[in-house]
Amino acid sequence: MKVLFVEPHPDDIVLSAYFTIKKLYSTDEIYLASVSNSPDYAIRDSKRFCIHMGINFVETKMIPDIMLSNKITPQRYKSESNPYEYQIYEYSRRYPESIDNATALIADVVEQVKPDLFITCIGIGHPMHVVTRIASDRILGMSKNIHYFIEAPYWFRKYGERIVNYSKLARKSTYIPLKTEVDEKLDVFKTCYPTEVSILRFDRDNFYTHPECIFYNPSTL
């Protein structure tokens, strides 16, 4: 089966689905495409990671990232009865151009790869993650062949738990890393994304031991 992963930024997949990819590797043909990058980072892509994992890197003309400082604050989520819907509504209103660009990019990748299964982020915290989710749903939302991964564990403490029911998600985990495996993921991250090591200032244990989860239709959770 052809499985296409689409990540908002180069590094989201290593953080969110490293062990999942390792598991799929033996049976599936895996592709990875990235949507955006900050212009500040001259060399930041997932090419090295794909070579390391033995999966296919899909070259894209990554679109400009949205500043993290433009995110909706967790306090704002908290006051909404449906924080997830609110987030989709608000970012659709604020960033129509980014959504159009991401939609065009993802449509192009899908046309190129023709995947049997498409996996993208659930859309939490960072505006570009939400944009990627909206764009993906525009293209594949009507299809049964779209799944979602829960992105970057470090978001979860601050943002994710306000948006989705984490205890339900955790039960559906595809992979819970063992303590002995955490260093492996850390090493791959450091080797493949040297410009990103500064994010390790976040709580390392939470970061790497967080369960990797992939779902179909999170709205039913």
77/62 Cα distance (integer angstroms): 29
Smallest distance, Zn ion to C-beta of residue 136, A: 14
186/189 Cα distance (integer angstroms): 5
Smallest distance, Zn ion to C-beta of residue 52, A: 19
Please count the residues of this chain forming the interface with Zn ion, following the rule CB under 5 A: 3
Nearer to Zn ion, 66 or 140 (CB): 66
DSSP state of 62: P
Side chain identity at residue 161, one-letter code: E
For 142-154, give the DSSP string.
Answer: TSTTEEEE---HH
By CB under 5 A, tell whether 133 contacts Zn ion.
no
Range in contact with Zn ion (rule: CB under 5 A) among 6-14, 19-27, 179-187, 213-221: 6-14
Contact yes or no for 123/135 (Cβ under 8 A): no
Q: Per-residue string for binding with Zn ion, 54-93, x by CB under 5 A?
A: ----------------------------------------
Q: Per-residue string for binding with Zn ion, 9-48, x by CB under 5 A?
A: x--x------------------------------------
| C-beta nearest to Zn ion: residue | 9
119/30 Cα distance (integer angstroms): 11
Q: How many CB atoms lie within 10 A of CB 139?
A: 20
Residues in contact with Zn ion by the rule CB under 5 A: 8-9, 12
